[in-house]
Amino acid sequence: MPVITNIQDLKRIHERRVPRMFYDYAESGSWTEQTFRENTSDFEQIRLRQRVAVDMSGRSTNSKMLGQEVAMPVSLAPVGLTGMQHADGDIKAARAAEAFGVPYTLSTMSINSIEEVAEATSKPFWFQLYTMNDEDYVRRLIQRAKDAKCSALVITLDLQILGQRHKDLKNGLSAPPKLTPSTIANLMTKWTWGLQMLGAKRRDFGNIVGHVEGISDSASLGAWTNEQFDLALDWGKIAKLKELWGGKVILKGILDAEDAKMAVKVGADAIVVSNHGGRQLDGALSSIRMLPQIMDAVGGEIEVILDSGIRSGQDVLKALALGATGTMIGRAYIYGLGAMGQAGVTKALEVIHKELDITMALCGERHVGDLGRHNLLIPKDFEGDWQE
């Protein structure tokens, strides 16, 4: 077993063990992938302010996210097809998060269903909702999340229309994978993954198949989903969904100060500053670069979670120091899941936690709640005056 010291180590193992189409699904952005790349590279522009001769004892990364006590202000983001990265991947990621003490978010486009994840875990998790044209299906999906005792509804706002991801099209992405000469050749090199999948509870989309009339296989599912994303989603519909849910609501996909203000206006409990990991609007600014002006607009009025581009505990610290109350990681834990299953997700969380803890100490802080801009050295043009 190789020594795992950082998230990149997990990424390398992930690439070796998981079929190409599912690795590419995780490790790609839309169009030119500019935003996908800048989500991570922009973190590197922010430097840390080292402090010495301070008391580093008694450190704590404990915090709260939506009132929930967490081991560190990090949650696992909703990721579609998680159960294709590793057999029963949604369940294993949820278990790892629960054991570590951080929130897990199940995607609408998960492989394991809401009910399967709820049965396999003992604490409430968050559920992410894509709004669909089939309003009856959406109502039933929300009720299923209620019945499973999900503690928050995460409504994704930035996928009314699908951004083009070239790799997915070229790979013929599907779940389960379609057996073409190229996919068969690749699957033959991933025999460990294949053996695990033979014992999986499910290999299709558990929240959809069997819950929508006429959806029985990947072909019918593909045709349905291509027509279902709600192009007419607006703030009025979001308010109605909040009322229908009746619990805590997180709005994910906020990348503009005006939209952040609207999220406060409709009564959201938290927002996720996110560009969908660079998978939607290519050419948009990175999430970390947009965070300061969103904090200026709504900071103190609503919980703000930073998503997209986080690959280390230092990235988490930088987001918190810029004002975020919490963070979300997607690819970072998916690398671990693809590499080592549940143990890999745990390892990813351990790596990020250790990096956060040690970096916090070397910056002269003992608690994540004390982090602020005083811990950072920010380039003068980082929050530049971008002309509309």
Q: Which residues are catalytic?
A: 276
According to DSSP H, which parts of the chain are helical?
7-17, 20-26, 34-45, 82-85, 89-100, 114-120, 135-147, 166-171, 181-187, 191-198, 218-228, 235-245, 257-265, 287-298, 313-321, 331-340, 342-362
Q: Compute the distance between CA of residue 154 and CA of residue 105 in angstroms, rounded to an integer.
A: 8
Helix (H), strand (E) at residue 64: strand 63-65
Torsion angles phi and psi, residue 273, rounded to 5: -75, 110
Residue 82, amino acid? T
Q: Compute the distance between CA of residue 41 and CA of residue 352 in angstroms, rounded to an integer.
A: 18
Torsion angles phi and psi, residue 230, rounded to 5: -85, 100
Based on its alpha-carbon atoms, the radius of gyration of the chain, rounded to whole angstroms, reads: 20
Q: Point out which residues pair with 379 in neighbouring strands.
A: none
User: Is 384:56 a contact under the CB 8 Å cutoff?
Assistant: no
Q: Compute the distance between CA of residue 154 and CA of residue 252 in angstroms, rounded to an integer.
A: 7
Pairing of strands 68-70, 63-65: antiparallel
Token output for 130 = 């894509």
Token output for 297 = 């607009």
Q: Give the CA count within 13 Å in the CB-facing half-sphere of 141.
A: 29
